[in-house]
Amino acid sequence: MKLHLLRSAAAEPLWALLLKGYSRRRFFLFILAVALFPALTHPGLALASDSGKAYTPQRGQIGKDVMWIPTPQGLVDKMLDVAKVTSRDRVFDLGAGDGIIAITAAGRYGAQSVGIEYNPQLAEFARRKALEAGVADKVRIITGDIFKEDFSSATVVTLYLYPDLNMRLRPTLLAMKPGTRVVSHAFTMGEWEPDDTVVHESARAYLWVVPASVDGEWTISGLEGGQARLYLQQTFQQVGGTLTRNGLTQPLVGARVRGDELSFKLISPQREVVEFTGKVSGSQIRGTLSGANLNTEVEGRRR
């Protein structure tokens, strides 16, 4: 009640209060409150305190595409750990709820974080929690729809949605910058297999690292005896293929792409294991082929 009185008083200029004949005692109390608690008279903060107190989200309450159930703090920590979040990251939580993931990413990992929440009251509640946690400068809660808002600047995306929503988001996630980490509480991404899994009590979360596109034919230079042809066939992070050199075609073993890193092994004609590790950047691959008697920088261009 007092808060409410103070907010309505603060919204009026002093001369208006005097004109309205505020009693001296009330006026004195108002001045005292402004001096002691300047936050109360800041319109944004006052609104957050007021509406946040009045509104308490209920577990299982209906959301636009999925209800609100918060991820337990223990799993939030593991999700951000497995994604190796640091202060250089920009974490987006799609369907932010009370902001627990965005607030933890900012508070414990120093990341910039953004939560997208459709329910305006829940979004406001999350903003107030960010303020209370002292991370309002690092956390932005957007009131919006995850299928309309742009989250392409994320380096880490977290989700606790539903299988069909994950599948709807999958093409957008796969088109993000290679190396972007995606962590989903409870639900998978269809046949895109997770790169890692974490468990907290009975809850589980999955990590994917957005793979670079390597599918196709590549011309490899830098090898003795002229150019080689690398043929790669990709399904998400799984890669198969062959390397053809001097008329000899060899299958690749254990080929995979994690973010922008491509690696594979092959058995040389001398029956030695040769390993390639390199980085993909658009239509270029640069890396090293190494083995017992080999250590060569090579470069590939997509044909």
Ligand X SMILES: C[S@@+](CC[C@H](N)C(=O)[O-])C[C@H]1O[C@@H](n2cnc3c(N)ncnc32)[C@H](O)[C@@H]1O
Per-residue x/- mask for ligand X, residues 139 to 178, rule CB under 6 A?
------xxx------------x------------------
Instruction: Give CA separation, 56 vs 113, 121, 134, in Å.
Output: 23, 9, 20
Compute the least distance from the CB of residue 185 to ligand X, in Å: 6
Residue of 115, 109, 114, 111 whose CA lies nearest to 88: 111
b/e per residue 121-160 (b: at least 16 CB within 10 A): bbbbbbbbbbbebebbebbbbbbeebeeeebeebbbbbbb
| 216 backbone φψ class: left, alpha, beta (φ>0; ψ -120 to 50) | left
Residue 185 interacting with ligand X (CB under 6 A): yes
| CB 155 to ligand X: min, Å | 17
- The answer to whether residue 97 forms part of the interface with ligand X (CB under 6 A) is yes
Q: Which two tokens stand for residue 221?
A: 């230079």
Q: Confirm or reject binding of residue 66 to ligand X (CB under 6 A).
A: yes
Residues that bind ligand X (rule: CB under 6 A) add up to a total of 24
Q: Tell me, rounded to whole angstroms, the distance of Cα 197 from its chain centroid.
A: 16
Which residue stretch of 18-26, 93-101, 238-246, 248-256 sits at the interface with ligand X (rule: CB under 6 A)?
93-101
Q: Which of 68, 151, 206, 218 binds ligand X (CB under 6 A)?
A: 68
**Span interacting with ligand X, options 9-17, 27-35, 111-119, 260-268, rule CB under 6 A:** 111-119
**100: contact with ligand X by CB under 6 A:** yes
CB nearer ligand X, residue 98 or residue 195: 98
282, 265 contact by CB (below 8 A)? no
- The residue among 9 and 76 lying less far from ligand X, judged by its C-beta, is 76
The closest residue (CB) to ligand X is: 95
**Burial class, 218, CB count within 10 angstroms (exposed 0-12 / middle 13-18 / buried 19+):** buried
* Shortest separation between residue 91's beta carbon and ligand X, angstroms: 11
Contacts of residue 233, defined as CB under 8 A and 6 or more positions apart, other chains included, come to 215, 239, 240, 241
Look up residue 190 and give its amino acid. Answer: G
Residues that bind ligand X (CB under 6 A): 63-66, 68-71, 93, 95-97, 100-101, 116-119, 122, 145-147, 160, 185
